[in-house]
Amino acid sequence: MKVIVTGGCGFIGSNICVFLKNLSFDVISVDNCSKTYSKLNLKRLNSLNIKNYNIDISNKNKFIKLNFKSDIIIDCCADPAVETSRKDILKNINNNLITTYNILEKAKKDNSKLIFLSTSRIYPIKDSYQKFKMFYKKKNKDLFDEKSNIIGAKTIYGFSKLSSEMLIKEYNYAFKIDYVINRCGLITGPWQFGKVEQGLVSLWLWKHLNRDNNLYYKGYKGSGNQIRDILFINDLCELVYLQIKKFKKIKNQIFCVGGGIKNSANLNELTKICEEITGNKLQIKCDLQTSIYDIPFYITSLQKVKKYYNWFPKTDLRLGFYILLEWMKKN
């Protein structure tokens, strides 16, 4: 089976390329290597004979001409930094929504199916605050699922990803392009080069490993109480593989995909795990100002994805952190 992974030199895209190549898929990447770390991932792809086409996917003419007709396109191409999305709005729309448009045009031309990596940030910011309040009060936890409200301000990044989702549904209706959309929460694992804007878990662990005290609890009065669920990359790759295998039966569906409640933790708990496994304790500072784009809470309800694919995350927090740590030490 032939597969194009767009954004194949990014964290998720490169891992999916390698995973599928190891299962003997005929896989290529298309990525303009816009990030410093994309170039590191490119080396990894090259060493495994996975070809990357260096094309700016927001340029329709260039992308459409790509001479590789695939059965399926896995769209991992994006500008996923939340905070910076409001600084250059057009750039964000170009790299998120316009790339999706061009990918859909290519899918239409080649009759390809589409798996789209969307985000938990399509949900409104205010709903995260509400669920955060309820989280400690209720026995039945009110998590985010496929039916959760999507109306309300969500960041430019969230807006452009939700617009992509909507465009995909229009292409399905008008041109019969079949799709699966994964609304992913926080993903981490080897080959993620964490920064403040993106890749929190790997940044947190890296700073601990290197005894680098330049680390802050940002916002929420510096409490470190903000909560996320965490999914490790191998579990996501396994899900994508299942989705390819079962595409004929399970298509034109949206799934919330994340670590789920078992793999959720607040920032203080993440600090504790990092301290335990590295043996290093940092003097973490506080930055009291809460960004208007930050959210205090995101945990995924895994009910639908479990029901359709019998899939659930196999890597728990501690194991995932150990795997990441070993990779960091080696690399």
Ligand X SMILES: NC(=O)c1ccc[n+]([C@@H]2O[C@H](COP(=O)([O-])OP(=O)(O)OC[C@H]3O[C@@H](n4cnc5c(N)ncnc54)[C@H](O)[C@@H]3O)[C@@H](O)[C@H]2O)c1
Identity of the residue, 13 or 296, whose beta carbon is nearer to ligand X in the bound complex = 13
Q: Token pair of 66, please?
A: 């790509």
Residue 156 binding ligand X, by CB under 6 A: no
Identity of the residue, 35 or 218, whose beta carbon is nearer to ligand X in the bound complex = 35
What is the footprint of ligand X within residues 46-85 (CB under 6 A)?
Answer: 56-58, 76-80
Q: Which residues contact 157 (CB under 8 A, 6 or more apart)?
A: 79, 80, 81, 82, 85, 92, 96, 119, 121
Identity of the residue, 77 or 273, whose beta carbon is nearer to ligand X in the bound complex = 77
Residue 33 binding ligand X, by CB under 6 A: yes
Residue 10 binding ligand X, by CB under 6 A: yes
Q: How far is the CB of 37 from ligand X (least distance, A)?
A: 7
Stretch that binds ligand X, among 18-26, 31-39, 263-271, 320-328 (CB under 6 A): 31-39
Stretch that binds ligand X, among 10-18, 234-242, 260-268, 279-287 (CB under 6 A): 10-18
Question: DSSP string of 92-137?
Answer: HHIIIIIHHHHHHHHHHHHT-EEEEEEEGGGS-HHHHHHHHHHHTT
Q: How far is the CB of 298 from ligand X (least distance, A)?
A: 10
In angstroms, how far is CA 281 from the centroid of its own chain?
A: 29
Measure the CA–CA gap between 82 and 105, rounded to whole angstroms: 26
Helix H or strand E encompassing 227: strand 227-232
Measure the CA–CA gap between 201 and 75, rounded to whole angstroms: 23
Residue 316 identity (one-letter amino acid): D
Q: Which residues contact 249 (CB under 8 A, 6 or more apart)?
A: none
Q: How far is the CB of 262 from ligand X (least distance, A)?
A: 18
Identity of the residue, 238 or 286, whose beta carbon is nearer to ligand X in the bound complex = 238
Pattern of binders to ligand X over 165-204, x per CB under 6 A?
-------------------x-xx-----------------
Q: What is the number of the residue whose Cβ is closest to ligand X?
A: 10
Identity of the residue, 134 or 153, whose beta carbon is nearer to ligand X in the bound complex = 153
Identity of the residue, 215 or 231, whose beta carbon is nearer to ligand X in the bound complex = 231
Residue 7 binding ligand X, by CB under 6 A: yes
Q: By C-alpha distance, which of 147, 156, 73, 155 is closest to 117?
A: 73
Q: How far is the CB of 14 from ligand X (least distance, A)?
A: 8
Q: How far is the CB of 137 from ligand X (least distance, A)?
A: 27
Question: Residue 84: left (phi > 0), alpha (psi -120 to 50), or beta?
Answer: alpha
Residue 20 identity (one-letter amino acid): L
Q: How far is the CB of 267 from ligand X (least distance, A)?
A: 16
Measure the CA–CA gap between 61 and 256, rounded to whole angstroms: 33
Question: DSSP string of 259-317?
Answer: -TGGGEEEHHHHHHHHHHHH------EEE-PPPTT--SEE-B--HHHHHHH-------H
Write down how long the chain is.
331
Stretch that binds ligand X, among 26-34, 134-142, 144-152, 274-282 (CB under 6 A): 26-34
Measure the CA–CA gap between 189 and 320, rounded to whole angstroms: 7
Residue 256 binding ligand X, by CB under 6 A: no
Identity of the residue, 25 or 123, whose beta carbon is nearer to ligand X in the bound complex = 123
Q: How far is the CB of 18 from ligand X (least distance, A)?
A: 13
Identity of the residue, 33 or 64, whose beta carbon is nearer to ligand X in the bound complex = 33
What is the footprint of ligand X within residues 100-129 (CB under 6 A)?
Answer: 117, 119
Residue ranges that bind ligand X, judged by CB under 6 A:
7, 9-13, 31-35, 38, 56-58, 76-80, 95, 99, 117, 119, 161, 184, 186-187
